[in-house]
Amino acid sequence: MTAPQDPDRVLIFDTTLRDGEQSPGISLNTTEKLEIAHQLARLGVDVIEAGFPIASPGDFEAVQAIAREVEGPIIAGLARANPADVDRAWEAVRDAERPRIHTFVSTSDIHIVHQLQATREDVKGLARASVAQAKEYCEDVEFSPMDATRADLDFTAEVLQIAIDEGATTINIPDTVGYAMPQEYAEFLTTLYERVPELRDVVLSVHCHDDLGLAVANSFAGVLAGARQVECAINGIGERAGNASLEEFVMLLHTRAADVGLTTGVNTREIARASRLVSRLTGYAVQPNKAIVGRNAFAHESGIHQDGVLKERTTYEIMDATTVGLDANQLVLGKHSGRHALRAALEELGYQVDGQTLNTAFKRFKEIADKKKQVTALDLEALVTDELREEVAAYTMEWFEVEASSRRPPHATVGVRTPDGEVVQGAFTGDGPIDAIFRAINAATGLDARLRDFRVDAVTGGQDALGEVSVVVELGPNAGERIGLPGVLLRERATGAGQAVTTDIIEAAGIAYARALTNAVRRMQAQAADEASEPTAELATP
Ligand code: KIV
Ligand code: ZN
- Give pLDDT tens digits for 19-47: 999 887 787 889 899 999 999 999 999 99
| Contact predicate 243/215, CB 8 Å | yes
Is 1 a residue whose pLDDT tops 50? Answer: no
- Residue 56 pLDDT > 90, yes or no? no
**According to the model, what pLDDT value does residue 345 have?**
87
Range in 308-312, 345-349, 527-531 with the lowest mean pLDDT: 527-531
- Cβ-contact 418, 442 below 8 angstroms: no
- Ligand positioned closest to the Cα atom of 104: 1
pLDDT in tens, 405-443: 888 999 999 999 999 999 999 999 988 999 999 999 999
Does the beta carbon of 52 sit less than 6 angstroms from any atom of ligand 1? no
Q: Which residue has the higher pLDDT, 517 or 388?
A: 517
Ligand nearest the Cα of residue 541 is 1
DSSP string, 461-525: SSTTPPEEEEEEEE--TTHHHHTT-TT---SS--EEEEEEEES-HHHHHHHHHHHHHHHHHHHHH
Is the separation of the CB atoms in 373 and 390 below 8 Å?
A: no
User: What tens digit of pLDDT does each residue of 220-239 get?
Assistant: 999 999 999 999 999 999 99
Pairwise CA distance, residues 322 & 180, whole Å: 34
Q: In the predicted model, what is the mean pLDDT of the chain?
A: 91
Query: Cβ(231) to ligand 1 under 6 A?
Result: no
> Which of 279, 270, 266 is CA-nearest to residue 236?
279
Element (H, E) at 439: helix 433-445
pLDDT band for position 489 (cuts 50, 70, 90): low
- Give pLDDT, residue 540: 45
List all residues 6 or more positions away from 84 whose beta carbon is below 8 Å from its beta carbon: 54
pLDDT of residue 430: 85
Q: Give the ligand 1 atom nearest the CA of 18.
A: 8
- Ligand 1 neighbourhood includes 207 CB (under 6 angstroms): yes
| C-alpha of residue 176 to centroid of ligand 2, in Å | 5
CB-CB neighbours of 470 under 10 Å:
25
In this structure, which ligand is nearest to the CA of 239?
Answer: 2
Q: Is the CB of 102 under 6 A from ligand 1?
A: no
- pLDDT, position 491: 58
Is pLDDT of 536 > 80? no
Q: Give the best-scoring range by mean pLDDT among 178-182, 338-342, 401-405, 513-517.
A: 178-182
Residue 368 pLDDT grade (very low, low, confident, very high; cuts 50, 70, 90): confident
Q: Helices marked H in 256-354 — which ranges?
A: 257-260, 271-282, 303-311, 339-348
Distance CA 439, CA 114 (A): 42
Take atom 3 of ligand 1 and give the residue whose Cα is closest.
176
519 lines ligand 1 (CB under 6 A): no
Task: Identify the nearest ligand to the CA of 542 by its number.
Answer: 1
Residues with CB under 5 A from ligand 2 (ion): 19
Atom of ligand 1 nearest to the CA of 243: 1
Is 148's C-beta closer than 6 angstroms to any atom of ligand 1?
no
- pLDDT(313) > 60: yes
Decide if 395 contacts 514 (C-beta within 8 A). yes
This prediction has a pTM of 0.87
Residue 242 near ligand 1, beta carbon < 6 Å? no
Compute the distance between CA of residue 22 and CA of residue 256 in angstroms, rounded to an integer.
Answer: 32
Mean pLDDT of 115-139: 98
Q: How far is the centre of ligand 2, averaged over its atoms, from the C-alpha of 468 (Å)?
A: 30
**β-pairing verdict for 170-175 and 203-208:** parallel
Instruction: Judge whether residue 535 has pLDDT over 50.
Output: no
- In percent, the amount of the chain with pLDDT more than 90 equals 65
